[in-house]
């Protein structure tokens, strides 16, 4: 047997035998895997439906159009959609490129406060190509909406990026729109609002989080987190930005599209339209809250004191000042529980150590876990931290 298949078998075993609490991961259906492993990987399809650079694309044209229509249905929107981004980073790259020139300014959520590398971090293209400034969270861990208008006036951005990879509360998209509109009116600018809904896209699809459609100019997402599709990205935009967004993906930043993955994205859209998916997302939100409440009951400090979505953040800095997020992550790995270390607001440690961990319920809810299973897992984690680390 090829070494590759041996490793795949080992990984399958790992996924079957461990508890997966990484907030950005999930388990896709057999059908998504079938599509992604299909013969569609054999073909070059540079371009867009009806306008390809290679012959033999008729099935791909139909598939890509179908995928686009299905995702418009999922989000009940007439926004234009591009399903070709290879990943979330590529989606954000093209989203910026469609409305910014190098050297323009973006305002985004600070990485240490729950933002993302592609939201202007100095070690990422977004912080190298653009001048980036940040907003953050208040002393209770909630987005500091009141501080945003002053930041807008101060840094005069061409784009405000709204979204997070480690934030457990509802994001008020309408409030951001209002503040950006007021800034544009005051300065005669045309600052665009981009929402990166990668983490919460499944909740938006199921009506468990307010939708950014009709509010943001551009919306980016990954397809593999709460949307439970294959690893990949998508961009939605107001119809007037369609040409700019499409050309920022191809030929701007990508070549041939991954049609086998686009097929998987189409399957995920079909699945997201079912009543079972809506029920699943409801359960994700319930399970996350129950597990979070269990940690609070056991004396843990949770950023914002709770959760509204599929994740929550445990701040160890006061309760276990000598225990780092990395130690918890590594120790839990030994016990077959997978989660990730995470910076906390006002983090004193490096991102490689951290003072917190991020916990999500999307993956284990897919595996059929009920609230009581999440409570038992919280108790196990607590026991391991107290007995083996504190």
For the annotated catalytic residues, the residue numbers are: 44, 46, 196, 222, 225, 231
Minimum distance of ligand DSN from residue 220's CB (angstroms): 11
For ligand DSN, give the closer residue by CB, 119 or 289. 119
Cα torsion for 82, 121, 128, 248, to the nearest 10°? 0
The answer to whether 165 touches 155, Cβ cutoff 8 Å, is no
For ligand DSN, give the closer residue by CB, 59 or 122. 122
Where does this chain bind ligand DSN (CB under 6 A)?
24, 88, 116, 165
Closest CA to 225 of 247, 245, 252, 196: 196
For ligand DSN, give the closer residue by CB, 88 or 356. 88
Question: Phi/psi zone of residue 141: left (φ > 0), alpha (ψ -120 to 50 degrees), beta?
Answer: left
Q: Which three-class secondary structure string do you get for 279-302?
A: HHHHHHHHHHHHHHHHHHHCCCEE
CA distance 246 to 8: 35
Q: Which residue is nearest to ligand DSN (CB)?
A: 24
The answer to whether 160 touches 196, Cβ cutoff 8 Å, is no
Minimum distance of ligand DSN from residue 63's CB (angstroms): 26
Minimum distance of ligand DSN from residue 28's CB (angstroms): 16
Minimum distance of ligand DSN from residue 207's CB (angstroms): 22
For ligand DSN, give the closer residue by CB, 112 or 165. 165
Q: Which long-range contacts (CB under 8 A, 24 or more apart) does 295-298 make?
A: 295/378, 295/382, 298/378, 298/379, 298/382
Minimum distance of ligand DSN from residue 364's CB (angstroms): 16
The answer to whether 359 touches 339, Cβ cutoff 8 Å, is yes
For ligand DSN, give the closer residue by CB, 116 or 294. 116
Closest CA to 269 of 21, 20, 41, 28: 28
Closest CA to 140 of 165, 167, 175: 167
CA distance 241 to 265: 22
The answer to whether 291 touches 361, Cβ cutoff 8 Å, is yes
Closest CA to 113 of 86, 140, 74, 152: 140
For ligand DSN, give the closer residue by CB, 165 or 355. 165
* Secondary structure of residue 64 in the 3-state scheme: helix
């Amino acid at each position: 047997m090829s070494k590759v298949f041996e490793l795949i078998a080992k990984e399958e075993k790992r996924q079957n035998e461990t508890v997966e609490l990484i907030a950005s991961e999930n388990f896709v259906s057999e059908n998504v895997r079938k599509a992604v492993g299909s013969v569609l990987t054999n073909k070059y399809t540079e371009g867009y439906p009806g306008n390809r650079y290679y012959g033999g694309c008729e099935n791909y044209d139909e598939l890509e159009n179908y995928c686009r229509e299905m995702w418009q249905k999922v989000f009940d929107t007439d926004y234009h959609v591009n399903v070709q981004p290879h990943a979330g980073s590529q989606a954000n790259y093209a989203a910026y490129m469609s409305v910014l020139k190098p050297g323009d300014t973006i305002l985004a959520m600070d990485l240490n406060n729950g933002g993302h590398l592609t939201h202007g971090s100095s070690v990422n293209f977004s912080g190298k190509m653009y001048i980036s400034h940040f907003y953050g969270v208040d002393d209770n861990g909630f987005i500091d909406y009141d501080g945003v208008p002053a930041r807008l006036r101060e840094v005069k951005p061409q784009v405000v990026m709204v979204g997070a990879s480690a934030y457990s509360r509802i994001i008020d998209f309408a409030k951001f729109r209002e503040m950006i509109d007021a800034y544009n009116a005051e300065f005669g600018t045309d600052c665009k609002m981009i929402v990166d809904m990668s983490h919460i896209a499944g909740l938006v699809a199921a009506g468990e989080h307010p939708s950014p459609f009709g509010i943001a100019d551009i919306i980016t997402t990954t397809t593999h987190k709460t949307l439970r599709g294959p690893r990949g990205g998508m961009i939605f935009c107001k119809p007037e930005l369609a040409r700019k967004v499409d050309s920022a993906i191809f030929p701007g930043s990508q070549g041939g599209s991954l049609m086998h993955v686009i097929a998987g994205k189409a399957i995920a859209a079909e699945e997201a339209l079912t009543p079972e998916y809506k029920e699943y997302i409801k359960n994700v939100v319930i399970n996350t809250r129950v597990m979070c409440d269990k940690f609070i009951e056991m004396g843990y400090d949770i950023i914002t004191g709770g959760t509204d979505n599929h994740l929550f953040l445990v701040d160890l800095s006061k309760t276990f000042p000598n225990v780092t997020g990395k130690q918890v992550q590594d120790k839990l790995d030994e016990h077959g529980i997978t989660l990730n270390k995470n910076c906390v607001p006002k983090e004193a440690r490096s991102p490689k150590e951290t003072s917190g961990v991020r916990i999500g319920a999307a993956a284990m809810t897919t595996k059929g876990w009920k609230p009581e299973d999440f409570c038992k897992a919280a108790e196990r984690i607590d026991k391991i931290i107290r007995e083996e680390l504190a």
